[in-house]
Amino acid sequence: MKRQKPRAALPAGLTLLGGGTMPTPPSPDQATLEAFPNPAPTRGYQVTFDCPEFTSLCPVTGQPDFAHIIITYWPNKQCVESKSLKLYLGSFRNQGCFAETIVNRILDDVVACCRPRRAVITGRFTPRGGIGIEVTATYPHE
């Protein structure tokens, strides 16, 4: 019988990782983005989260909106923890928001979470009525 290695202790401040099944928060205001110490804080590198199944609601019609969200950031002292990001993005599912609001909110929340050197958030919203929308927001603001 193989002996299992003991689980490494989680970095301080991480409450969602390793907590088993977690319910999706009902709104972004009730979601928590968590961060952990950057393992290579002196090196410049980029992290990209590819989120092709993002959903929200049209604030006017209440119909579902679908998007491909791409989050790219260059860590400074902290990195975004991916499980908390998954739950955070899922919390938009029942929120009525315009595409521009969503992308800028995600940027603001990522910046508040980990204070990156740079961040770029792009939302490619699926066409409805024949028009797709792509919104890109950057930090620092260009």
65 is known as an active-site residue? yes
Q: Which residue has the higher pLDDT, 132 or 10?
A: 132
DSSP one-letter string for 13-77? T--STTS-S-PPPSSGGG----EEE-S-TTS---EEEEEEEEEEE-TTT--EEEEEEEEEEE-SS
Q: Which of 50, 51, 58, 109 is catalytic?
A: 58
State the pLDDT confidence band at 23, using cuts at 50, 70 and 90.
confident
Assign 34 a pLDDT band (cuts: 50, 70, 90).
Answer: very high
> Which of 10-14, 61-65, 90-94, 137-141 has the lowest average pLDDT?
10-14
The sign of the CA dihedral 140, 29, 12, 9 is: negative
List the beta bridge partners of residue 51.
69
Which residue ranges make up each domain of the chain?
38-139
pLDDT, mean over the chain: 90
- Per-residue pLDDT, averaged over 106-121, amounts to 98
For residue 2, pLDDT over 60 is answered with no
Catalytic residue of the set 29, 50, 51, 65: 65
Q: What is the arithmetic mean of pLDDT over 66-81?
A: 98
What average pLDDT does range 53-66 have in this prediction? 95
Say what percent of the chain tops pLDDT 70.
85
Longest dimension (CA), the chain: 59
Domain covering 38-139 in this structure, CATH number: 3.30.1130.10
pLDDT score of 128: 85
Q: Is 51 a catalytic residue?
A: no
Query: 57 to each of 11, 33, 97, how far by Cα in Å?
Result: 35, 21, 6
* Secondary structure class of 101 (helix, strand, coil): helix
Residue 132 has pLDDT above 80, yes or no: yes
